[in-house]
Amino acid sequence: MSRPAAKKELGQHFLVDENIVRVAGRLADLSEDDVVLEIGPGLGVLTAFLADRVRLVHAVELDRSLEPRLRERLGPRENVELVFGDALRVPLHELDPPPGKLVANLPYNVATPLVVESLDGLPTVERWCVMVQREVADRFFAEPGTRAYGAVSVLLRLTAERTGFHPVSRTVFQPQPNVDSALVAFRRTRTWGPEYTPLKRAVQAAFAHRRKTLANSLALAGFERKRADAAVAAAGIEPATRAEALPPETFLALAEALA
């Protein structure tokens, strides 16, 4: 069966190199009891690798036209559940049994929202190992005060600790992307409750206009100005401060004040 053409509008770059798959497996610290969620299995190279090493793989694929190639690759393996649909819309929290790890070559155009939504939307996931653009990988655990530091950095650093990082050559994909990539592995350190939604809103609003002061950015993002000013003061933040200067934990106090 010939290799299907990648669809640019879906951000498809198929993983074809089994050496990098082994690196992903090591960073994910796989065990035979694991239930793994894979988003964007593509041609099934990583899917087959996972299925040979874990108890069950939930593989969620948007592109239904890949089903014949996926099923051919997987062959007689019975421990893979293929789910066809948009991973941002599929009720992943209803997967049974629930996944304990997320291991995936994430589609470039949805990688960040998928990771951000998984932090609270998939509370059973304790470990992640994801392939993303190098620029996105650098943002995930960026330090305050750096150009890469942003909303996703804050949410990830408040939820997990990075356990692995591996730069990835463009040659492991077909077609080759025009950007560099990296594998990032991290482990959960905090499980969220209902406080995550207002925290996420506050963090994203704080960085929405990152050249503005924190209160200005909050106001421009939809918070009432007096409320924004009062919350900044209540959180003990100087009025002229920008979001990029704040350590992650400060955003917890800010979100509580805004609520």
pLDDT at 7 over 50: no
pLDDT in tens, 107-120: 888 999 999 999 99
Q: Is the entire prediction scored with pTM above 0.95?
A: no
pLDDT in tens, 161-174: 999 999 998 888 87
Q: What pLDDT is recorded for position 88? A: 96
pLDDT in tens, 16-72: 888 899 999 999 999 999 999 999 998 999 999 999 999 999 999 999 999 999 999
87 part of a folded domain = yes
2 part of a folded domain = no
Q: Domain range spanning residue 172? A: 8-188
Q: What pLDDT is recorded for position 86? A: 96
DSSP states along 46-87: HHHHHHTTSSEEEEEES-GGGHHHHHHHHTT--SEEEEES-T
Q: Determine the 3-state secondary structure of 30 from DSSP.
A: coil
Averaged pLDDT, 180-203: 97
Q: What pLDDT is recorded for position 173? A: 84
Q: What pLDDT is recorded for position 4? A: 55
43: left (phi over 0), alpha (psi -120 to 50) or beta: alpha
Distance from C-alpha of 175 to C-alpha of 155, rounded to nearest angstrom: 32
123 and 63 housed in the same domain: yes
Cα 148 off chain centre by: 16
1 part of a folded domain = no
Q: Cis omega (within 30 of 0) on the bond before 97?
A: yes
State the average pLDDT for the chain.
93
The helix (H) or strand (E) run that includes residue 37 is strand 35-39
22 and 101 housed in the same domain: yes
Residue 59 tokens read as: 């593989």
